[in-house]
Each structure stands twice: as C-alpha cells, then as structure tokens.
Structure 1
Amino acid sequence: MNSPANITPSFPHHGPLSCRRCFTNIEGDERDIGAWHVVNDPGAWGASNPKVLVLGFSKGFTQANAFKSGKFEDVPFKKARGRLRSILCRLGLLD
C-alpha cells in the first residue's frame, strides 16, 4: 500500500470538465437554490501535476460571465489577479 508521501497527485487536465455530480437528475445546467443561482460549469486551470497548487474559490458572477463569453484562460481570479500576484510575490513564488 502506498503511503501518502508516495502518492503523486493528479488533477484533471486544463480545460472545461464534464462533471455533473451536483446536477444528477436535474435538467439543464442551471438551478436556483433559495437566493442562490447555481451554474454547472466546472473547469480545471493549470498543470495536472503542479509544483505549487493555488486553490481558487468558486466562480462568482464575474468569473461565471467570463466562462460563458470570454477566453477560458481569463476565468480564474478574474478581477483579482493583481491581489493574487501580490500574494504570490510575498510568498516567494513569483518575482
């Protein structure tokens, strides 16, 4: 059996994902849950085996609109990239 130290993580390949786990038995890719409007538009950005993993947050209105009508690469951290860059520089992950 592999110990956790011997396991190489593998994430989905860069691009849109076809997962519907949260939308099983639901027609379409959008639904309202109380005051929330939920859209099924999962995606993976970056390497499948990254040296550094930066977890984002679920897409909000800005990111969801970019996903629908913009370039796929522009979606993560849309309108927050300046702050993200500052944090990564502070951590020594970017120059």
Structure 2
Amino acid sequence: MDGLHRVQIGLTGLAGVILMVGLANIVIDKARLDEQTMPPPVVPTVSADTANAAATPREPLAELGVTPSAEQTGQVVPDLQPDPALDKPMDRDPQ
C-alpha cells in the first residue's frame, strides 16, 4: 500500500514536470512565430534640425553645471580680497 502511494506521487510529479515543459515549449514557439510575423521596426527620418543637433557634441555634465563646457573657456574668477574693515585675521585662534 505504501509503495503504491509512492508510485502515484512520483507519476503525478513526473506528469506535472512534463506538463510544465510542454507549456514552456508552446509559449516559446508562439513568441518565435510572433517575432517572425512582426514588421521591421520603423526608423524615423532625420530632419535638418535634428541633424545639426546630432552633429553638435553634447556635454551633459556641463549642462548640469558640474564641469565647465568648451564654450566657457573665457571665464575668469576675480581674486578674493580680504575685507579692509577687518582688524585681525579670522583664520587663527584668538589669543
């Protein structure tokens, strides 16, 4: 009786695995069939505006302000001068 029960459970598991493999095969075959019947992807045409924009190299970090761009080479930061109203330096500990 116990041996018959084990055989039934084994056959049920085997049937389940065969069913799962069969369903996976059907899904994969259907995906391949759909892929073959799909038309080729449409490539948009390039207009003059987008051609000029594509020809100009973009600098995303410069647009965010992280790094200087090539066009900003003439910028100069003026030297910082200390405030003439200060009597003593503030970067030292008071004595």
Report the structure number with the largest CA radius of gyration.
Answer: 2
- TM-score, length-scaled by structure 1: 0.20
Looking at secondary structure, tell me which structure has more strand per residue.
1
Looking at secondary structure, tell me which structure has more helix per residue.
2
Which structure has the higher relative contact order (CA within 8 Å, separation 6+)?
Answer: 1
- TM-score, length-scaled by structure 2: 0.20
